Chain A
Amino acid sequence: MSIQPRNIRRIIGLTWMVMVFIFLFLPIFVIIAYSFNGGRNLYVWQEFSTRWYAVALDNPRVLSALAVSLKAAAINALIAVSLGMLAGLTLARRKGRWLVPYVMLIFVVLGTPELVSAIGQMIWLDRLGIFDGITRLSIGHSVFNVAVVTLIVRARAEGMGEQLEQAAADLGAVPWRAFVTITLPLLFPAVMAGLLLSFTFSLDNVITSVFVQRPGTTTLPLYILSSFKAGLKGDVAAIAVIMLGVSILAIAIAALLLNRGARRGSVMGGAMG
């Protein structure tokens, strides 16, 4: 019975899907593989070696760029989570006429080409006289991430429903106690996921960083970008793989957090629609 047209379509579909997935992951595997390329020329495979990792981790410029990236990402994540959690909760629990324009603004923030907002931020930060590199990076990255966290928290709060908080009030809990004992614990996975995603987006950010950075505080992606112009070597691939590992780990944890306890049939806990 396996020659039925429906099964043929299934096989074609699954094959196509697998091919597309391979296509999507191919560059990642390539970079991982070539980071172990011992040869001098990155593009030509010579021998297996881990020496580039040693070179990369020894390079002071790499380490300082890494430090800058991590600091900026951390500050940006804190901003994103604190502002986003409040906004997301408010959107879910205090609906009113303000809601539609507010959400539209969020979509504009998310949908505007990063290029444009990066230019604007560069101009504005200069005019405001904010010249500290890490501050500029944190602020620049956080704008998008506040929106992301807001939507994630909102989706989770909506999915949770107000009933639980009402039940808590019914049982005698004053508002802040209900918030601390009921709302926060149940929002926690979403908040954590938002934190991780904000952190990762900042770590990997290129466009905003290109415009907003100050000489002396370069992020890791920008360091990679500049060494590209100087000619790629294995150590860049090594750094790339390390960053990839960190990003993948963070996103995997975020995905787990969002999926656990999410409504059935929602993707990523409803955060993606």
Chain B
Amino acid sequence: MAQDSTAPSLTLTPGLKAWPVPRWILAWPALAWWIIFFVLPLAWIVLYSFGSKPQATEQGFVSLKSLSLDNYLAATSELFFNVFLGTLQIAGIGTIACALIGLPVAYTLAYYVAPRWRPLLVFLLILPFWTSFLLRTFAWRIILAPQGTLSKTLQSLGILDGPLLVLDTSWAVQLGIVYNYLPVMILPIYVAFERIDPALAKASMDLGAGPIRTFFQVTLPLAAPGLFGGLLLTFILAAGDYVVPTILGGTKGLMVGNLVATQILSAQNLPIGAAMAILLILMLALTVIVGIVLLWAVSRALRTMRGAAL
């Protein structure tokens, strides 16, 4: 039933029918909030990224006297470039690892777990993600500590020659990223699997495809949007992460997140920090676009490989 835009006002706006007021006016407060405290701040970042660090004699954090692309040039310096690449690498590997680990979990949850247990397990899945990010990342410092239990156990088992030296390296950051974003990857894939009509798999097998082929030819393609959403979301969140590299990375294993934070908070260089932040967004946007194009290309290729049906 099509939504009727001319129905007598039923809820929310009694009496307002007399005034020439837009129907969706009650959504304006939230909109105003976002415009003021989200859109405008972003605009300021863009503006500042073209500014420069104020001279000693000037006030404030940014001098807008001469706008230029200097910050962007500086931001693409070697140091920053390496950090960018490192971020892409860690976020990329992390996303793939999450997908490999998470897909079987999503599948199991959707197909091998009885329906009445699923809400509970989904809740347990989400719980670690929504409780303090900070705290759980901290716990990994305890687990990976050179003097900690794990380290001692591995040494006594002979697996390690010396203390566990993963902490404060990019490996620890990698582990932390995978750990923190696993639920983000699993949930959309699970939802996608769950939505698929069970009759479809049965039909596929009825027509002669075994379980493995059914999975790759029917189930996975149908779940593809969920998988894609999970990959995208995980990557975006991982690339912009600040907490994990700060806590688990020490001085090495830097990602864009804490590089930007350092520039802005420690080095007081707001313009460069702003430029880096914009570059981060551009990088993420670019990745999204590349991902979409890749997805489209892959699905086209698969279709042509399969050949025409008629």
Residues of A within 8 A of B (CB): 5-6, 9-10, 13-14, 16-17, 20-21, 23-28, 30-31, 34, 41-45, 79, 82-84, 86-87, 89-91, 93-96, 98, 102, 105, 109, 111-117, 119-124, 126-127, 139-140, 142-143, 146-147, 150, 162, 165-166, 169, 174-176, 178-179, 183, 197, 200-201, 203-204, 206-207, 210-211, 221, 224-225, 228, 232, 236-237, 240, 243-244, 247-248, 251-252, 255, 259, 265, 267-268, 272-273
Contacts and interface: CB of A to CB of B under 8 A. Distances in A.
B30 A87 contact: yes
A119 B33 contact: no
Q: Is the interface of B mostly helix, strand, loop or mixed?
A: helix
A119 B273 contact: yes
Contacts of B11: 93, 165, 175, 178-179, 183
Interface in B118-132: 119, 121-128, 130-132
B221 interface: no
B253 interface: no
A169 B211 CA distance: 53
B24 A176 contact: no
A201 B129 CA distance: 11
B50 to A, nearest CB: 13
Which among A13, A203, A221 has the greatest number of chain B C-beta atoms within 10 A? A13
A252 B123 CA distance: 8
Given A115-B242, A165-B11, A210-B265, A30 B277 contact: no
B105 A105 contact: no
A25 B128 contact: yes
Given A112-B281, A120-B41, A27 B131 contact: no
Contacts of B84: none
B138 A224 contact: yes
A165 to B, nearest CB: 5
B226 to A, nearest CB: 8
A143 to B, nearest CB: 5
Contacts of B182: 20, 23-24
Nearest to B104: A16
B140 interface: yes
Interface of B: 3, 5, 9-14, 23-27, 29-31, 33-34, 37-38, 40-45, 48, 61, 101-102, 104-105, 107-109, 111-113, 119, 121-128, 130-143, 145, 147-149, 179, 182-183, 187-188, 190-191, 194-195, 211, 233, 236-237, 239-240, 242-243, 246-247, 256-257, 260-261, 264-265, 270, 273-274, 277, 280-281, 284
Given A117-B38, A123-B48, A13 B12 contact: no
21 contacts: A14-B113, A16-B108, A23-B182, A25-B128, A27-B128, A27-B140, A91-B27, A96-B3, A113-B281, A124-B40, A140-B37, A197-B130, A201-B130, A206-B134, A206-B243, A225-B246, A228-B141, A232-B138, A244-B132, A252-B123, A267-B122
B142 A31 contact: yes
Contacts of A98: 24, 27
Contacts of A139: 37
Given A95-B3, A96-B24, A251-B131, A169 B142 contact: no
Nearest to A121: B41
Contacts of A244: 131-132, 135
Contacts of A176: 14
